[in-house]
A = this chain, B = another copy of it.
Amino acid sequence: MTQQETDLERYIANNEDRFLEDLTGWLRIPSISTLPAYAGDVRRAAEYAANQLTKIGFGNVEVIATQGHPLVYGEWLKATGKPTLLIYGHYDVQPVDPVELWNSPPFEPTVRNGNLYARGASDDKGQTMLIIKALESLLAVNGKLPINVKVLIEGEEEAGGEAVAQYVKTHTDKLACDTAFICDTHMPSKDAPALISGLRGIIYTEVEVHGAQRDLHSGSYGGIAPNPLHALAIIISRLKDAEGHIHVPGLYDKLRPGSEIEQDFWQKDPLNFAEALREEMGVAQLTGEAEYPPLERIWARPTLEVHGIAGGFVGEGAKTVIPAVAKAKISLRLPPDLHSSEVFTLLERAVKEAAPPDVTVTVRNLHGGEGLVVEPDNSAMQAAAAALKGIYGKDPVYIREGGSIPIAALFSEKLHAPVVLMGFGLPDDNLHAPNEKYSLSQFFKGIRVVANFLQNLAA
């Protein structure tokens, strides 16, 4: 170790408790972007991030008003002649329902068994805070960063908001960079560091079915009345069968197979991902298209899921209503070559064809984002791989991420920069579910990896 490396390590080790406090302070703010009642908290979370950036020595720190929730921006651009890294994170979180299933309140961060439990602990406040702490450590020890850094933190990632996309599209000069870095992904396990070689896109829709002009009593009308809930069941069952095949004509046409290396990895599954996921889900067998390996199904195949069905009566007891209207939230995950707006058109047509003739159906496009393929052989990916190896002691695996990070495709398209997707979440972090957690050891290792990554990029 060089003296500089020793100093950095000492600084990080000495400040771990405070780093954690700075994270838990952020996690206490219920910044649920999708629920309008929390708009004030979302703003507070933005201001908290901006204060952090100011405190560590970043300049031009702004909380940027948008049509939706604010963006947070800050920069440190004093490394003349060195490359520029654009770092992205998000400070908003998912809703917490069903809140009764949380073992500790979602916005009272609690440490148990080496994990920090809170909504947003992993997705994405924990992962964003570790970057800020890496930047703080480098600045504190060296008085400077090894490269130029721009930080952009958004507040609508969980709500499919347009603000960050609008901002990127209209501020390409301000955000110009040599590499983009997104820390919103996970590793297969604590000793399997990973970089993401591809992401699925998404299209999130709401299907609304109208039957009669008012709610009806099933005793008086059952037998002649359209039932929008039943119609939705028919539509959904026709869109995807019990074997996981999606019946949206044209959907599979543009799908490209993975590279040979990827296909080999999916087939062999050397880290036993599929078995770990099966155990974690607590199911006897995996669902879905049996003719494709499980890893291909979660990383590189399109999928269709229904997330909720509203209409009628779901309270305690019995109400014999035939509702006038019912709605379903339905999304598709889209491998890189399937464009979200094209798929929306296909889906809309398929829904209308699947609908029984006695109801009227509309499909709303709530939001969409594109997938991405990242090549592992660019220099930024190599700098990240070396940083991971330095801390974890082994080469990363190159995996795909089944989740959607629309901003990644946007950075690639608008800023023409390679996108490094490196995260420290774990598969059992309970993202979007009760008891979300983040591993403390992953948080502290992440700080060290990111510091090393920046140093490698300077070389």
Instruction: Name A's B-contacting residues (CB within 8 A).
Output: 34-36, 94-95, 97, 101, 158-160, 186, 200, 202, 204, 211-227, 229-238, 240-242, 244, 274, 277-278, 281-289, 294, 297-298, 301, 303, 305-323, 327, 329, 331, 333, 356-358, 366-367, 401-404, 427, 430-435
Which residues does chain B contribute within 8 Å of A366, judged by CB atoms?
317-318
What separation, in Å, do the CA atoms of A233 and B242 have in the docked complex?
10
Nearest CB on B from A182, distance (A): 14
Which residues does chain B contribute within 8 Å of A233, judged by CB atoms?
232-237, 306
- The verdict on A229 contacting B318 (CB below 8 Å), with A222-B298, A297-B224 known, is no
Nearest CB on B from A99, distance (A): 12
Counting chain B CB atoms within 10 Å of each CB, the highest count among A94, A160, A204, A227 belongs to A227
- Asked if A433 and B215 make an inter-chain contact with CB atoms under 8 angstroms apart, the answer reads yes
Closest B residue to A277 by beta carbon equals B224
Task: Tell which of B159, B329, B435 touches A314, judged by Cβ atoms closer than 8 Å.
Answer: B329
- For the complex of A and B, the 10 pairs showing the least CB-CB separation, nearest first, are A219-B403, A213-B282, A223-B297, A34-B317, A233-B236, A308-B312, A212-B281, A222-B303, A215-B433, A310-B314
Nearest CB on B from A98, distance (A): 8
What separation, in Å, do the CA atoms of A43 and B59 have in the docked complex?
66
- Asked if A223 and B301 make an inter-chain contact with CB atoms under 8 angstroms apart, the answer reads yes
Counting chain B CB atoms within 10 Å of each CB, the highest count among A95, A221, A367 belongs to A221
What separation, in Å, do the CA atoms of A314 and B327 have in the docked complex?
8
Q: How many protomers of this protein does the assembly include?
A: 2
Closest B residue to A230 by beta carbon equals B306
What separation, in Å, do the CA atoms of A301 and B216 have in the docked complex?
18
Closest B residue to A278 by beta carbon equals B224
Closest B residue to A204 by beta carbon equals B318
What separation, in Å, do the CA atoms of A289 and B225 have in the docked complex?
11
For the A-B complex with A97-B313, A220-B402, A230-B236 known, give 6 more contacts whose Cβ atoms are closer than 8 Å. Answer: A211-B283, A213-B281, A215-B434, A218-B331, A223-B402, A230-B306
Closest B residue to A428 by beta carbon equals B214
- The verdict on A223 contacting B288 (CB below 8 Å), with A306-B312, A433-B321 known, is yes
Nearest CB on B from A234, distance (A): 5
Task: Tell which of B224, B234, B401 touches A298, judged by Cβ atoms closer than 8 Å.
Answer: B224
Which residues does chain B contribute within 8 Å of A158, judged by CB atoms?
318-319
Can you list 26 A-B pairs with a CB-CB distance of less than 8 A? A34-B318, A97-B313, A211-B283, A212-B281, A215-B433, A220-B427, A220-B431, A221-B277, A223-B333, A224-B277, A225-B286, A225-B287, A226-B283, A227-B287, A227-B305, A230-B240, A233-B306, A234-B237, A307-B319, A307-B321, A307-B323, A312-B329, A314-B327, A317-B366, A319-B432, A320-B432
- Asked if B322 and A307 make an inter-chain contact with CB atoms under 8 angstroms apart, the answer reads yes
- Asked if A308 and B303 make an inter-chain contact with CB atoms under 8 angstroms apart, the answer reads no
- Asked if B358 and A403 make an inter-chain contact with CB atoms under 8 angstroms apart, the answer reads no
What separation, in Å, do the CA atoms of A204 and B218 have in the docked complex?
11
- Asked if B286 and A224 make an inter-chain contact with CB atoms under 8 angstroms apart, the answer reads yes
- Asked if A225 and B316 make an inter-chain contact with CB atoms under 8 angstroms apart, the answer reads no
Which residues does chain B contribute within 8 Å of A281, judged by CB atoms?
211-214, 216, 221, 224-226
Which residues does chain B contribute within 8 Å of A240, judged by CB atoms?
230
Task: Tell which of B186, B226, B237, B305 touches A218, judged by Cβ atoms closer than 8 Å.
Answer: B305
Nearest CB on B from A265, distance (A): 16
What separation, in Å, do the CA atoms of A34 and B401 have in the docked complex?
46
- Asked if A287 and B224 make an inter-chain contact with CB atoms under 8 angstroms apart, the answer reads yes
Counting chain B CB atoms within 10 Å of each CB, the highest count among A288, A289, A319 belongs to A319
- Asked if B430 and A214 make an inter-chain contact with CB atoms under 8 angstroms apart, the answer reads yes
What separation, in Å, do the CA atoms of A278 and B309 have in the docked complex?
26
- The verdict on A432 contacting B307 (CB below 8 Å), with A319-B94, A329-B312 known, is no
Which residues does chain B contribute within 8 Å of A218, judged by CB atoms?
303, 305, 307, 331, 333
